[in-house]
Every structure is written in C-alpha cells, then in structure tokens.
Amino acid sequence: MRVCLCLLALAAFSLHAATPPKNEILHGKLVVHSGEAPVIETAEHKRIVLDGDQPTRKVLHDPRVNGFELEAHGHFTAPDKFQIDPQHTRALVVLEGGKPKMITYWCDVCYIRAYAPGPCVCCQKDTDLDLRDLDDIR
Ligand SMILES: [Zn+2]
C-alpha cells in the first residue's frame, strides 16, 4: 500500500512538472478604454491586464464589449497580467445572465460571421457585435 501511494505521488508530481504554465479561468468585468490596455476587474476589485492573440486583442479593444462579464481561459504571465489562450480554443466568453456566450461579429448583408471586429471580408460593411450561445456554434 505504501509503495502504491509513493508511485501515485510520483506520478502526480511528474504530471505537474510537465504542464507549466498552470491553466486558469479568470472571471470579471471587462474594462475597455480607447488607447489603454484592456483590463478585467475581478470581484475583489483587482485589475488584471489582458492579452491574447491577434483576433482576441481586436475583440478586447472593441468598445462595444466594455462592461461585459467575462470568463477567460489562459494563464498568468505576471501577478497582474493574464495571457488568454488562442481564440480558436474559445478561451474568451461573455456571461450574459449566467450563460456563456461567444463574442462574434455578423454581417447582415452577406450572412458572414467573423470572430474579430472590423469590416466584413466581403462587402466591407462594419460588422455588428453578435453574442451567440456556445451551443448554437458547436
Ligand atoms: Zn458583408
């Protein structure tokens, strides 16, 4: 029994060592001001600067998402800096009425969906922010 426990402990240790950095989920309110780094304000009123890949950055700089309740998956790069996982992993969702929603952008002319704000790839019209149920997209 003792040998067995030892092996378990060893296995747990090696697993831990193999998977840095630790993946975490961050909850809070998104604060977007133009010209400033986007931050998430946690329930404890801690402000944590957010970063991510290119499409994630674009979303985080969209003033339309300011004030949203967010859930971000990723890891801390510093005590007050959080790197969000790549966007295709759906690491960033909005909580609307407690339900997770994906941030998407919709062109109602071409019926094209995008995952970053900006002009439609087809007609160049500015796309509309469109929060989608995660279940609808999967
Ligand atoms: Zn279009």
DSSP state string for 42-92: -TT--EEEEE-SHHHHHHHT-GGGTT-EEEEEEEEEETTEEEEPPGGGT-E
What's the CA gap between 12 and 10, in Å, rounded?
5
CA of 77 to the centre of ligand 1 (A): 37
pLDDT (mean) for 94-98 = 90
CA of 64 to the centre of ligand 1 (A): 19
CA of 82 to the centre of ligand 1 (A): 33
pLDDT (mean) for 98-118 = 95
Q: Between 62 and 97, whose confidence is greater?
A: 62
Percent of the chain with pLDDT over 90: 75
CA of 113 to the centre of ligand 1 (A): 9
pLDDT of residue 60: 96
CA of 22 to the centre of ligand 1 (A): 40
CA of 106 to the centre of ligand 1 (A): 8
What's the CA gap between 39 and 131, in Å, rounded?
20
CA of 62 to the centre of ligand 1 (A): 19
3-state secondary structure of 6: helix
CA of 119 to the centre of ligand 1 (A): 8
pLDDT of residue 90: 93
pTM (2 d.p.): 0.80
CA of 10 to the centre of ligand 1 (A): 56
pLDDT tier at 6 (50, 70, 90 boundaries)?
A: low
* Res 3 pLDDT > 70: no
